[in-house]
Amino acid sequence: MPPGAIEVERATKSYGARAALREISFSITPGQAVGYLGPNGAGKTTTLRLLAGLDRPDSGSVRLLGLDPVRSHDSALRRVGVLVETPGILPYVTARDLLSHVARVKRVAPSAEASQLRDLAGKLGFLDQLDRPIGSFSTGLTRRLLLAVALVGDPEVLLLDEPTLGLDPAARADLRHILRELRRDGRTLLLSTHLLDDVEEVCSRVLFLRDGQIVGDEAVELRPVDGAGNPLRSLAIRFARDVAEAELRAAVGAGIEVEPRGPRDLRVQFVGDEERQAELVATVVRSGLPIVTVADGSPTLGQRYLERVGREDPP
Amino acid sequence: MSDVARTFSLNAQWELTRLRRSQRIWLLLIPPVAGPIGSAVADLYLHVPTRATAQILGLLIAGGLAGLILLDLVALAVGEDLTLRAHVTFFALPQSRRTLLAGRLTVVLGGAMASYGLSAVLVWFASAALVAPNPLILPIFDPGHLALAVPGFLLFLAGVTAAGAVFTRTASQGLVAGVLAGVVVAGLTGYLLAFHELTALFPVLLAIAGGGAIGWALDRYPTLGA
């Protein structure tokens, strides 16, 4: 079996008495885009630091493209782009100075260096700022520059920690577009973020982290299935008055799962296509139950985040 | 080119870019410009009695100026990234962190040494031109020995500053460590001179200690990502 692009096996990391990671394990196959979600202090940045070779696990192992990022630092990181934490940048150097240095360290061919820097700066919207000192950049522009640093050398794997932090909505949308393109090109992405929109738009899989432990590993577009593995459709129905579960169950008949979500809110789940769904809604209307709204009842990523991780940040 | 040589060369170039962009590179002009001028002014207005004494005075000025510049450049070469947390970007690149630092240190240490060397040569000849020799008055020591001892002192300062910056993870604390080390060495030199115990061993020991401190800094630097 070929090695995963990213493999973490029972990795543990503590800082003093505080356990930042507790035996976490996951594997990401080449080409997969994975969101890494969790509250502050859950261990997201620690995981990325281990993968970037900035730190080593107390026990367990981490591997990038089959290599240990600490022992085989140079080989492992040659094909990897990293944006971890919010690194400072020397204010007096220009963006071109920094990107050019990174390109040389990453062994970008001298003939391709200038065009690659221009392309990256163009994509990320700072082409006309390439020769300005970085100290004059706004927070958002600095973030885009740091992302460009990670993208230099056309890396196979990208480890990105809050890449859209500090960006305005338009810049965030542009960046998400770039990340989607990278995913389409077959790049492996591990995207640590607080922003669920970013994960929903870019990633196919999501890992939930809480208190240094993986508490969920699932597809971003999760469709619930019945006992036989058939995909379930889910509708959230709001009524104009209180409706008992039994009342709705009597209206829709057998084979439909009914779940109360509130006095006037119920969710129904069933196996079937869009026609079956339209038929079901018509049946409820014909039964005389006063429907106000019908919406997709599949749990959103936000709801799943709250279910897995909870509302509170860890102590 | 081997990986080590390549990383060394790229980071030496990066340090040059930093010096150029921050304008710090102009500091290296101070010893060769201000050294001979300061020395000449002192020679003429203090009526220095012998050429050898004038050369000693000039070399002390050149060495002192080079030392101050060296402190600043080494502290920033080692500690600026750590202070700004810019090292996170460079540590995550495929390069040896030890070689990275060696490349940067070579530029600032070499630059300061070259600046001192040029200043020393200019001071030497300026003193020779401005002050007449007087074989009846002996200098406190041979100025030639001082000219060779100053690089040992500079290496010591560089080592203490680099080690201080690595230990405290800041440029400013590294600079303070270097200044304190300079004061201690100046005091010790005065003491040894007063008791006629200043020998060639002293600058050699300083150079060895400085080299050791640089070695320690190079050894510890890669672990600072944690």
pLDDT digit string, tens, across residues A156-193: 999 999 888 878 888 888 888 888 988 898 999 999 98
Facing A105 at nearest CB: one of B18, B84, B95: B95
Closest-approach residue (CA) in chain B for A149: B89
Facing B94 at nearest CB: one of A78, A92, A149: A78
Q: How far is A77 from chain B (nearest CA, A)?
A: 5
B102 touches B9 (CB < 8 A): no
Give, as one character, the DSSP assignment of residue B86: T
| Structure-token match 């495929």, residue found | B94
Least confident range from A102-111, A306-315, B155-164, B170-179: namely: A306-315
Q: Report whether pLDDT(B226) > 90.
A: no
pLDDT, position B34 = 94
For the whole model, what pTM was predicted?
0.85
Domain with B64 in it: 3-225
pLDDT, position B176 = 97
- State ipTM: 0.90
DSSP, residue by residue, A177-243: HHHHHHHHTT-EEEEEES-HHHHHHH-SEEEEEETTEEEEEEESS---B-TTSPBEEEEEEEESS--
Q: How far is A10 from chain B (nearest CA, A)?
A: 20
Q: What is the mean pLDDT of chain A?
A: 88
pLDDT digits (tens, 9 = 90+) for B14-70: 999 999 999 999 999 999 999 999 999 988 888 888 888 999 999 999 999 999 999
Closest-approach residue (CA) in chain A for B92: A52
Measure the CA–CA gap between A151 and A157, rounded to whole angstroms.
Answer: 10
Q: How many domains does chain B have?
A: 1
Q: In DSSP terms, which residues pair with A217 in a beta bridge?
A: A207
- A104:B88 CB<8 A: no
- A93:B21 CB<8 A: yes
- A93:B17 CB<8 A: yes
pLDDT digits (tens, 9 = 90+) for B160-214: 999 999 999 999 999 999 999 999 999 999 999 888 888 889 999 999 999 999 9
| Structure-token match 């080409």, residue found | A31
- B92:A52 CB<8 A: yes
The residues of B whose Cβ lies within 8 A of any Cβ of A are 3, 7, 10, 13-14, 17-18, 21-23, 80-81, 83-89, 91-96, 225-226
- If pLDDT is split at 50, 70 and 90, which confidence band does A3 have? low
- A90:B81 CB<8 A: yes
Contacts of A282 (CB under 8 A, 6+ apart): none
- If pLDDT is split at 50, 70 and 90, which confidence band does A2 have? low
Facing A85 at nearest CB: one of B13, B88, B93: B88
Q: How far is A67 from chain B (nearest CA, A)?
A: 13
Domains and CATH numbers, chain A: 6-219 (3.40.50.300), 232-298 (3.30.70.1560)
Residue A89 with chain B: CB contacts under 8 Å: 84, 86, 89
